Structure 1
């Protein structure tokens, strides 16, 4: 009986053959192995095929692949000594941080430096470049690229400068304020070399604007010079400084600025010749009054003397009312 059933089962399988039963575990293992071999050995297998078919190229000699993204690669190669190329979002972040720090800690020079370069919009610097190119002296400055430093100005200190000359006025102001030509930081974050030099020149000439107008290095003097630069040169940081910096001042300081010094700075800045085109190194022996007249600048009231006199009056009134 059993033999008969076995014979019938074999006969049925012969008529309708079925695929062999494969374990699900075996299928899963096969799939995993196939995927792993693709990702782990796929590149090696493809490399072997390329070598066999003569399509192999050495990665070390391969040209730059513009489709690949390197998160640590700078947006460009440095364009001049000390240049630090930044992405747009990095400049924006530097602007946010430096503007906040400059507002609360204006005494820290690095904040002002970073704010200036993060807001140095290329179109503004290009406009300054065109102003310089349209002027004979400005073109020479761009071509010769003079550098204001202790080393380049040392020869003037040893020379017999007239008492009322630009050079003597400048050196006396430096000594009075306790600063020097080398205190200005180098430009790092402006990409175009011409724009970087123009911004450097603007930064180095800042002390001459202080000196010929006898404006001290204090918050009021700085805001006044920034306003003069904003109206004359159009540097964005100077515009921001002259608008927002007065918010932090005391009442007496605001009154002096809004009543006397900001109106003076606006008038002088708009009416005077472009100060970026002044070759200061070549006019060190000239009379400072003649230079002011040629530039269209009139000297403002003495800020130091005015502050001193107002403090004396406040003290006198306080004593009088306390009696």
Structure 2
């Protein structure tokens, strides 16, 4: 169920915990050997509505991580509180590692410019699979595209997956960023710091973009920008 429906957070959580026995210790070690990652392990911050000052984040300038993260949550009608606590990981430190991974998942959507539709989720899963090695991500990346249309599969295979893989290989460990202390940093500079490449300039026919054409024209989006990648991904299956 978790492979075919990434919106079933409960099943996704169970799959991640029961298959991550090798990847989780590796991720923990990466965090322990990185100054910022080590501090995260020691302080164990949580990304929850109760820990976020949503009013302050909404007031940050456009383009900052905090403003764009809140925009992502509101535009896609999602909440960080939907991330379930670990139930099948006995080691307390490893349990926090997978909890942290879950809670920064929406941050990956923000940094990659991907919405929460099936295409956007698959792209993020490819990036996360390369980054984390978690079998859950690998399986989601492999089986998620089954539900996509032929046109979206073409864009995915020729443009978005290669970009997600290259970015995942090039980027530093996503768990070693203390996002809560980077709210005022621009998304662009954080992308560069982590090592996420600019998204491809996707050229598709208007029917695939659908109503996003008006959004692109009104906002004056750059075809090679993160916003353009998201606009291309938002259209229906």
What TM bracket, shorter-length normalisation? Answer: 0.7 to 0.9
Structure 1 counterpart SS, 2:61: coil
Mark the CA change 1:308 to 1:184 in structure 2 (over 3 Å): closer, same or farther.
farther
CA contact (8 A) 1:120 1:190 kept: no
TM-score between both structures, scaled by the size of structure 2: 0.82
Mark the CA change 1:115 to 1:288 in structure 2 (over 3 Å): closer, same or farther.
same
Mark the CA change 1:159 to 1:110 in structure 2 (over 3 Å): closer, same or farther.
closer
- Structure 1: how far apart are the matches of 2:188 and 2:172? 15
RMSD of aligned alpha carbons: 2.1
Equivalent of 2:2, from 77, 84, 102?
102
Residue matched to 1:166: 65
Residue matched to 1:120: 20
- The alignment covers a number of residue pairs equal to 210
Residue matched to 1:226: 125
Residue matched to 1:246: 145
Mark the CA change 1:156 to 1:140 in structure 2 (over 3 Å): closer, same or farther.
farther
Residue matched to 2:156: 257
CA contact (8 A) 1:156 1:284 kept: no
Residue matched to 1:267: 166
Alignment of 1:44-63 (within 5 A): none
Alignment of 1:279-318 (within 5 A): 279-301=178-200, 309-310=207-208, 312=210
CA contact (8 A) 2:9 2:82 kept: no
TM-score between both structures, scaled by the size of structure 1: 0.61
CA contact (8 A) 1:233 1:276 kept: no
5+ residue gaps, structure 2, are: 211-237
- Structure number, greater radius of gyration: 1
CA offsets, 1:51-95, max 9 Å, x none? xxxxxxxxxxxxxxxxxxxxxxxxxxxxxxxxxxxxxxxxxxxxx
CA offsets, 1:116-173, max 9 Å, x none? 122121x211111110111000000000000000111126636741222110010111
Q: Does 1:132 align with 2:45?
A: no
Q: How far is the alpha carbon of 1:291 from its aligned partner?
A: 0.8
Mark the CA change 1:158 to 1:216 in structure 2 (over 3 Å): closer, same or farther.
closer
CA contact (8 A) 1:118 1:189 kept: yes
Larger relative contact order (Cα-Cα within 8 Å, sequence gap ≥ 6): 2
Equivalent of 2:51, from 115, 140, 152?
152
Alignment of 1:141-220 (within 5 A): 141-154=40-53, 157=56, 160-220=59-119
Residue matched to 1:235: 134
- Structure 2: how far apart are the matches of 1:208 and 1:193? 23
- Structure 2: how far apart are the matches of 1:215 and 1:248? 17
- Structure 2: how far apart are the matches of 1:248 and 1:158? 35
- Structure 2: how far apart are the matches of 1:149 and 1:235? 23
Moved over 6 A (4+): none
Mark the CA change 1:230 to 1:105 in structure 2 (over 3 Å): closer, same or farther.
closer
Mark the CA change 1:169 to 1:182 in structure 2 (over 3 Å): closer, same or farther.
same
Q: How far is the alpha carbon of 1:106 from its aligned partner?
A: 4.0
Mark the CA change 1:255 to 1:190 in structure 2 (over 3 Å): closer, same or farther.
same
